[in-house]
Chains A and B, each alone.
Chain A
Amino acid sequence: MTEPRSHRPGLYYPKLPTTWWLHRPAYVRFMLRELSSVFIAIFLVVFLVQLYQLRQGPEAYAAFLAKLRSPGWIAFHVVALAFALYHSISWFNLTAVVQVVRLGERQVPPWLVAAANFALWAVVSLVILFFFLLRG
C-alpha cells in the first residue's frame, strides 16, 4: 500500500521574464485590459471620497472639487477614462463571443449581440448624462 501524500503536489509554473507580455501586441492588449481595472478601482475610491465630502458640507465639497481640478488629477482621470472606455469596448466584444444567444433554432450572430450591447451602453450613458444636464 502506498502512503497517502501528505501535501498536494506543487503547481508547475514555467519560468518567464516579468516582461513576457511586451513581446506581442495581443499580450500587450491583454495586459492593458487587465490594467484598466486598476484605473477604474482608483476612480471608484476617489468617487467614494467625493461622496463622503458631500456630507462634510458645501465648503469641504467645493474644496474637494478644486483638488480634482488640479492638472495632475485631470490628467489621471483623462487616462482613466480612456482605460474605462477600453474596458467597455473589449468587454462587449468579448461577451458577445462567449455568450451564445439563441432565437429558436438559430444562433444570433456575435456581432449582433455586440451591437445590441453597444446600443444599450450608449442609451444608458446618454440617459445618465441628460439626467445631470437637465436636472443638475
Chain B
Amino acid sequence: MATRKTSEPFWWGLFSVGGVVAAFLVPVHLFLHSLAVPLGWIPVSHARMQALVGHPLIKLYLFVLIALPLYHWAHRFRFILEDVGLHALRTPIAILSYGGALLGTAATLWVLLRI
C-alpha cells in the first residue's frame, strides 16, 4: 500500500506544543486578565501593563502564550466538526481551522509589534 505524504504530523506537532502551553499558562492568565484585573481584585495600571508588554522578552512570551494554543484549538475544532458527522466538508473544515490559527498568529504578531 502506498503511503500518502500529508501535512498531518506538522499540524499534530503544533497541536501538541499548543496543548502544553495552554495547560501550563492559560488558566492563570485567564484568571488574571479576564477576571482579577477587570474586577479590581488585582489592580494593574495601564502604564504598568504597557511598560510590561513593551519588553521584548514579554512580547516573545505573549506570542508563545497566544499563538501556539490557537493551533491546539484548530486541531481539536477540526475533529469536533468531523466527529459530529461533517466528513463531507473535511477539506473546507481543515482550511477554516488551520487558516484561522494562521490568521490569529498574524494578528498576534501585528498587535505585539505595534505596542
Name A residues whose Cβ lies closer than 8 Å to a Cβ of B: 8, 11, 13, 16-18, 21, 31, 34-35, 37-38, 40-41, 43-48, 50-52, 54-55, 57-58, 61-62, 65-66, 68-69, 73-74, 77-78, 80-81, 84-85, 87-88, 91-92, 95, 120-121, 124-125, 128-129, 132-133, 135-136
Contact = CB atoms under 8 A, between A and B. Distances in A.
A136 to B, nearest CB: 4
B30 A133 contact: no
Given A48-B108, A85-B27, A124-B25, A68 B34 contact: yes
Interface string B1-45: 000100000000000000110111111111111111111001111
Nearest to A27: B83
A18 B23 CA distance: 28
B84 interface: yes
Max count, chain A CB within 10 A of own CB: residue among B30, B42, B72: B30
A126 B26 CA distance: 13
Contacts of B80: 31, 34-35, 38
B112 interface: yes
B107 interface: yes
B39 A74 contact: yes
B26 A84 contact: yes
B31 A81 contact: yes
Nearest to A126: B28
B88 to A, nearest CB: 9
Interface in B101-115: 104, 107-108, 111-112, 114-115
Contact of A92 (B23, B46, B84, B87): B23
Nearest to B85: A18
Nearest to B48: A136
A129 B24 contact: no
A17 B44 CA distance: 49
Given A34-B79, A136-B43, A54 B115 contact: yes
Interface in B80-106: 80, 83-85, 87, 104
Nearest to A128: B28
Nearest to B2: A8
